[in-house]
Amino acid sequence: MQSASAVREQAPAAAQTSHPRGLYLLFATEMWERFSYYGMRAVLVLFLTKAMMMDKAFASKFYGGYTSLIYLTPLIGGYISDRYWGNRRSIVTGGLLMALGQFTLFISASSYGPAEGHSLSHQLLYLGLGCMIIGNGFFKPNISSMVGTLYSPTDSRKDAAYTIFYMGINLGSFFGNTITSLVGDTGNPADFRWAFLACGIAMILGTIVFNWGKTRYLHTPEGQQVGTTPVSSPGVKGVFMLLPVLLAVALGILWLDSTQLSVIAPLLLIATIGIAVFILADKSLTSGDRQRVWVIFAVSFFVVFFWAAFEQAPASLTFFADEQMDRTIFGYTLPPSLFQNLNGFFVVVGAPLMALLWTALGRRGAEPPSPMKMAIGLGLLALGYLVMCFGVKDIQPGVKVSMFFLVALYFLHSMGELCLSPIGLSLVNKLSPLKFSSLLMAVWFLANAAANYLAGFMSGLYPEAGKPAPHLLGFEITGIYEFFMVFVVSAATAAVVLFIFSRKLVKMMNTIG
């Protein structure tokens, strides 16, 4: 192990020639965690409908509630990290909780069936997802915010660093989706358990990798360790006593929202207002700080439109691939969940090219500002659904759609994601006041929470033969074409509005004071 003084001596030189080694430690950690999360997510809705015997509408709502809480709990995890634990302890604790959740799902999937005859299995399903929700709350905002701490505040490589980091996310997604689709989505409901087991093992590996390298590589360009316990922390042990309470609350909310009444939507609204008031009321913030915080909230609003449409992949788009798409190639029928892999593949291939593009444009002074990049991402999202509309328009009953259209959709969505998500992560890091860095990163994930909840609702509108046509704001969704057009219109509208206001947002970002 290198001494702290040796690290301090080497750090400045390394920063001048390449990205810091800590970036690749975070890359590897996030890769294994995303293997775990996306691998499980790829088969979750199919597990709910084919093994736990939930109907599609309920499974979609249940999935939306779960994924929205996945992105809501980073508000709590970010706050605890900033005030009590620091990034490192939060990441390790979160990783262990998520591994426990995956192993609990493995046990649940070993004795599956409808709730009437398999109540214990369904209870374990809730418990496993609850551990995932709380664990992610500690893990996700902290590992993302740590990327920026490895660079100086004025380092122009941050966008490229977050794009490289984002490639790790999608590399994990690619391998996770591939393995869980092949071992879990076999047509035999008993095999879903092997997908959850693989995800639990991946999460353990990610936690071990991070714990091994955190002291060696996670430091500023000057060699100062980052992510350690805050100097002003009143203590760390008390938070461990709070974990069972947080788990019980998460389980209660998930159960109430899926079976009784909507409680997550009001929580999202309260959290948004509460966190805005909490941050903006801080008297230590300058007027420029407040302007930049408002920019974070503004772009987060537009992100909701992106992810609500993008997150149809594990739900309605998987239903479509399962039932209405020709999945046979060279005599082999591909598992429907495997098509979600296309996103990870296209991002892994496209991320280094996009990083080079932004760097090259930056050298020429022609790089679009971050809000403009995000508007482009929304436009590509709308274009992807428009391609699907051409594929399904006027299709006759019983006719299978070529997989080309879904491949094209995932390609366009992946390019849109590269224009929006890593850029947004970098934007939040650059604009956040230091004392609220993790909490404002959690605001970014709050937008994801709202989007995922909305995605579950929208997936529940997926039209099914023999059932009444669903309605949205007076619009009757009579078929797949109308269903996909909803996302074309919503994403395109958001893209245009963000494009119009991007110049104003850039001005607010650069406010001095």
Q: What is the 3-state secondary structure (H, E, C) of 119-160?
A: HHHHHHHHHHHHHHHHHHHHHHHHHHHHHHHCCCCCCCCHHH
Confidence check: pLDDT of 204 > 90:
yes
Compute how many other C-beta atoms are within 10 angstroms of the C-beta atom of residue 267. Answer: 17
**d(Cα 342, Cα 339) in Å, to the nearest integer?**
6
- With a CB cutoff of 8 Å and minimum separation 6, the contacts of 364 are none
CA dist., res. 339 & res. 271, Å (int): 34
Query: How does DSSP classify residue 225?
Result: B
Give me the pLDDT at residue 271, please.
84
Separation between Cα atoms, residue 263 and residue 54, nearest integer Å: 21
**pLDDT number for residue 223:** 83
- In the predicted model, what is the mean pLDDT of residues 280-287? 84
Q: Percent of the chain beyond pLDDT 90? A: 39
315 neighbors 66 (Cβ within 8 angstroms): no
Asked if residue 277 lies in contact with residue 160, where contact means CB atoms within 8 angstroms, the answer is no
Buried b (16+ CB within 10 A) or exposed e, 152-182: eeebebbbbbbbbbbbbbbbbbbbbbbbbbb
Q: Quick one: pLDDT band at residue 16, thresholds 50, 70, 90?
A: very low
Query: So what's the pLDDT on residue 359?
Result: 82
| Long-range CB contact pairs, 502-505, < 8 A, 24+ | 502/369, 502/371, 502/372, 502/375, 505/295, 505/298, 505/299, 505/369, 505/371
Nearest to 92 by CA among 134, 132, 138, 130: 138
pLDDT at 374: 93
Is the model's pLDDT at 15 over the cut of 70?
Answer: no
pLDDT at 397: 67
C-alpha 308 chain-centroid distance: 11
Task: Record the pTM.
Answer: 0.82
Residue count (the chain): 513
- The answer on pLDDT for 140 being more than 80 is yes
Instruction: Give the angle 198-332-414 at the CA atoms, nearest 5°.
Output: 60
Segment among 75-84, 106-115, 158-167, 307-316 with least mean pLDDT: 158-167
Whether 47 shows a pLDDT value over 90: the answer reads yes
Residues 6+ positions from 304 with CB-CB distance below 8 Å: 447, 450, 451, 454
Q: What is the DSSP string of 358-409?
A: HHHHHHTT-PPPHHHHHHHHHHHHHHHHHHHHHHHTTPPTTPPBPHHHHHHH
Distance CA 184, CA 102 (A): 14
Predicted confidence at residue 331, as pLDDT, reads 84
Phi-psi region of 331 (alpha: psi -120 to 50; beta: other; left: phi over 0): left
Direct distance between the N- and C-terminal alpha carbons of the chain, in angstroms, rounded to an integer: 43
Radius of gyration over every alpha carbon of the chain, rounded to an integer in angstroms: 22
Rounded distance, CA 366 to CA 289, Å? 26
Of the candidates 123, 116, 135, the residue with the CA atom closest to the CA atom of residue 73:
135
Most confident of 14-23, 125-134, 449-458: 125-134
Asked if the model's pLDDT at residue 6 lies above 60, the reply is no
CA distances from 253 to 98, 144, 218, 249, 262 (A): 18, 26, 36, 6, 9
Token reading at 285: 């913030």
Q: What is the mean pLDDT of residues 461-481?
A: 79
